[in-house]
Amino acid sequence: MRYSFLSLLKNGLTGQAGWKPAWRDAAPKPAYDVIIVGGGGHGLATAFYLASEHGIRNIAVIEKGHIGSGNAGRNTTIIRSNYLLPGNEPFYEWSMKLWEGLEQALNYNAMVSQRGILNLYHSDAQRDAYARRGNAMRLAGADSELLDREGVRAMYPFLDFDNARFPIQGGLAQRRGGTARHDAVVWGYARAADQLGVDIVQNCEVTGFISEGDAIVGVETSRGAIRAKKVGLAVAGSSSRVAKQAGLRLPMESHVLQAFVSEGLKPVVDGVITFGAGHFYISQSDKGGLVFGGDIDGYNSYAQRGNLPVVEDVAESGMALMPRIGRLRLLRMWGGIMDMSMDGSPIIDRTPRPGLYLNSGWCYGGFKATPASGWCFAHLLATDAPHATGTAFKLDRFRTGHLIDEKGVGAQPNLH
């Protein structure tokens, strides 16, 4: 069923009785052309683009819980393409372009909202680093603006300009950045993929792989064996666990990242602001809650919950940046398990096991990548060649030394 003004009117007049499930709750078939493991945003987007761009429709997305129950529903909803390095920036800019047409592509309002993102700088060295980044963005065809202190003040006069420990000197703005409604992205991709014939199989956990020699030819699951010509993993923080079942050790650690939302308020923050003198980023949802976050807790974890020191650090940074938020209340905090790669950048590549493909290493930036991640992974699965914007995301780059280390902190995932 297409969503249209007419369908809304009709259902409004008939007591909302005519709606159908947004996607079928499919049972697994014995075999598919492609199985995507992981029913988060990346997995569902992959299935959608495989079906819509490559004409492969005999696909299952299998998910151990319900779709969107992992990081897709636990992030701070920020979209942006303000990366630095040539391995990353064209990919994220492609993602941004896909965001810009997403709702029409999916016939689903994911509330993609380009109200801008502003990264603040507090020193000359940081300004230079942001200039380098802003110029790199321009080279990749993205938009960027370097603002001085007064430029920032004009956008957000309520930031602490007068008494700050690390005075705001300016910011790098990307006006096309913003937010999207994270759950709606999941639901939109699921619904659109389903309409193209993709089976979305929930409560179906991978317990092993079916091999023929070196090759992977399917998965064992809690709902039985399912064969496939190709299996793609898009399981974020569970990557190491699932890959281990195929005998692979990954350049990856799983870490917990906390996120926070405040009580609903009348509009305070229009776009996304990130603090440059601490770990803090904030935006305001359309419902009115301030959505914010900070650094990962910094230790390996699969527990989907973090601890107070990071909560305090986030609040200290928030108060240092915006001292008017002191009386606002934190409503909910939660944790997601991040697939922290060893250089802080993702992997979209074939694996040493023929038939098994990997999409992982999103660190805590996976949400914004959702469309391009799906696009590039679909391209790889369909053609066995990397998409032009994702050629650097190789699994063997750690062996060859072609690292994509945006932060320059080296092989220490908790610092990326």
Partner 1 sequence: MRIPCPYCGARDASEFAYLGDATLTRPDPAAPDAADAFHDYVYLRDNPAGAHSEWWYHSGGCRRWLKVTRDTTSHAIAGAELAGGAK
Partner 2 sequence: MSRLPSSGLVDRTRPLNFSFDGKNYRGFAGDTLASALLANQVRLVGRSFKYHRPRGILTAGPEEPNALVELRSGARREPNTRATVAELYDGLDATSQNRWPSLALDALSLNGLVAPFLGAGFYYKTFMWPASFWEKLYEPVIRRAAGLGRAAEGEDPDHYEKANAFCDVLVIGAGPAGLMAALAAGRAGARVILADEDFLAGGRLNSDVARIGDEPGPAFAARTVAELASLPNVRIMTRTSVFGVYDGEYGAVERVSDHLATPAPFQPRQLLWKITAKRAILCAGATERPIVFGGNDRPGVMLAGAARSYANRYGVAVGKSVAFFANNDSAWTSAFDLKAAGVNVTTLIDIRREVAPVLAARAKALGIDARTDTQVTGTTGQPIGGGLTGLAIRTAGHGGRIAADTLAMSGGWSPSVHLTCHHGGKPVWRDDIAAFVPGGIPPGMTVAGAARGTYGLGDILAEGARQGGEAAGDLGFAASLPALPPTEETPAGITAFWHVQGSKGPAFVDQQNDVTAKDLGIAFKEGFRAVELMKRYTTLGMATDQGRTSNVNGLAIMAELTGASIMETGTTIFRPPYTPVSLGVLGGHHRGKDFRPTRLTPTHAWAAERGAVFIETGPWLRAQYFPKAGEADWLTTVNREVKAVRASVGLIDVSTFGKIDLQGPDVGAFLDRVYINTFSTLAVGKARYGVMLREDGIVMDDGTTARLGPEHYVMTTTTANAAKVYQHLEFCLQVLWPELDVTLASVSEQWAQIAIAGPRSREVLARVVDAGVDVSNEGLPFMGAVERTVMGGVKARLFRLSFSGELGYEIAVPARQGEALARALMAAGEEFGITPYGIEALGVMRIEKGHVSGNELSGQTSAGDLGFGKMASTKKDYIGRVLAARPGIADPERPCLIGFKPVDPSQRLRAGAHFLKLGAPADMAHDEGYMTSVAHSPHLGHWIGLGLLKNGPQRIGERVRAYDPVRGNDFEVEVCSPGFIDPNGERLRG
Partner 3 sequence: MTSALDALPVTQMPPDGHYGPAGKHGVTARIFDPPALATLAARHGAGAALSAAARVELGLDLADAPRLSRANGLTAIGTGPGRWFLLAEAPEDLPAHLAALAPHAAITEQTDAMVGFELSGPHVRDLLAKGVTVDLDPSVFPPGAAATSNVAHINTSFWREPGDERFVFLAGRSYAVAFARFLVASGAAFGLELVHRG
Footprint of partner 1 on 243-262 (CB under 8 A): 244, 249-254
**Which residues within the stretch 351-380 sit at the binding site for partner 2 (CB under 8 A)?**
none
What is the C-alpha separation between 349 and 397, in angstroms, rounded?
11
Q: Which is nearer to partner 1, 157 or 401 (CB)?
A: 401
Q: How far is the CB of 295 from partner 1 (least distance, A)?
A: 12
Cβ 303 to partner 1 shortest distance, Å:
6
CB-wise, 87 or 116, nearer to partner 1?
A: 87
323-382 residues in contact with partner 1 (CB under 8 A) are: 342
Q: Which is nearer to partner 1, 36 or 256 (CB)?
A: 256
Between the two ends of the chain, the Cα-to-Cα distance in Å is: 43
What gap in Å lies between CA 322 and CA 165, rounded to an integer? 12
Neighbours of 153 (CB within 10 A): 15
Concatenated DSSP letters for 116-182? -EEEEE-SHHHHHHHHHHHHHHHHTT---EEEEHHHHHHH-TTS--SS-SS---EEEEETT-EE--H
Phi first, then psi: what are they for 44, rounded to 5°? -70, -40
Residue 136 contacts partner 2 per CB under 8 A: yes
HSE on the CB side for 357, CA within 13 Å?
31
Q: Is 264 in the site for partner 2 (CB under 8 A)?
A: yes
**Positions in 279-308 near partner 1 (CB under 8 A):** 298-303, 307
Contact status, residue 9 vs residue 195, Cβ threshold 8 Å: no
Q: Give the Cα separation of 221 and 240 in Å (integer).
A: 17
Closer by beta carbon to partner 1, 46 or else 301? 301
| Cα 359 from Cα 363, distance rounded (Å) | 12
Cα separation, 283 vs 182, in Å, equals 13
Cα three-residue angle 43-44-46, rounded to 5 degrees: 65
Closer to partner 1 at the Cβ: 114 or 301?
Answer: 301
Can residue 128 be called a binding residue for partner 2 (CB under 8 A)?
A: yes
Nearest to partner 2 of 244, 299 (CB atom): 299
In the set 48, 92, 94, 108, which binds partner 2 (CB under 8 A)? 108
319 sits near partner 2 (criterion: CB under 8 A)? yes
Q: Is residue 134 near partner 2 by the rule CB under 8 A?
A: yes
- Binding-residue pattern over the window 145 to 164 for partner 2, x denoting contact by CB under 8 A: xx-----------x-x--xx
Least Cβ distance, residue 120 to partner 1 (angstroms): 24
Binding mask 15-44 for partner 1 (x = CB under 8 A): ------------------------------
* SS3 of residue 200 by DSSP: strand
SS3 317: helix
Query: Scanning the structure block, which residue is given the tokens 């320059």?
Result: 408
User: Three-class SS of residue 373?
Assistant: helix
Q: Which residues contact 8 (CB under 8 A, 6 or more apart)?
A: none
Nearer to partner 2, 91 or 209 (CB): 91
| Binding flags for partner 3, 287-326, as an x/- string (CB under 8 A) | ------------------------------------x---
111 belongs to the binding site for partner 2 (CB under 8 A)? yes
Pick one of partner 2, partner 1, partner 3, none as the site partner of residue 15 (Cβ within 5 to 8 A by kind).
partner 2
Least distance from partner 2 to the Cβ atom of residue 234, Å:
19
Q: Which two tokens stand for residue 388?
A: 């032009």
Of 248 and 333, CB closest to partner 2:
333
Q: Give the footprint of partner 1 on this chain (CB under 8 A).
A: 240-241, 244, 249-254, 298-303, 307, 309, 342, 398-399, 411-414
Using CB under 8 A, list all residues that contact partner 3.
163, 165, 323
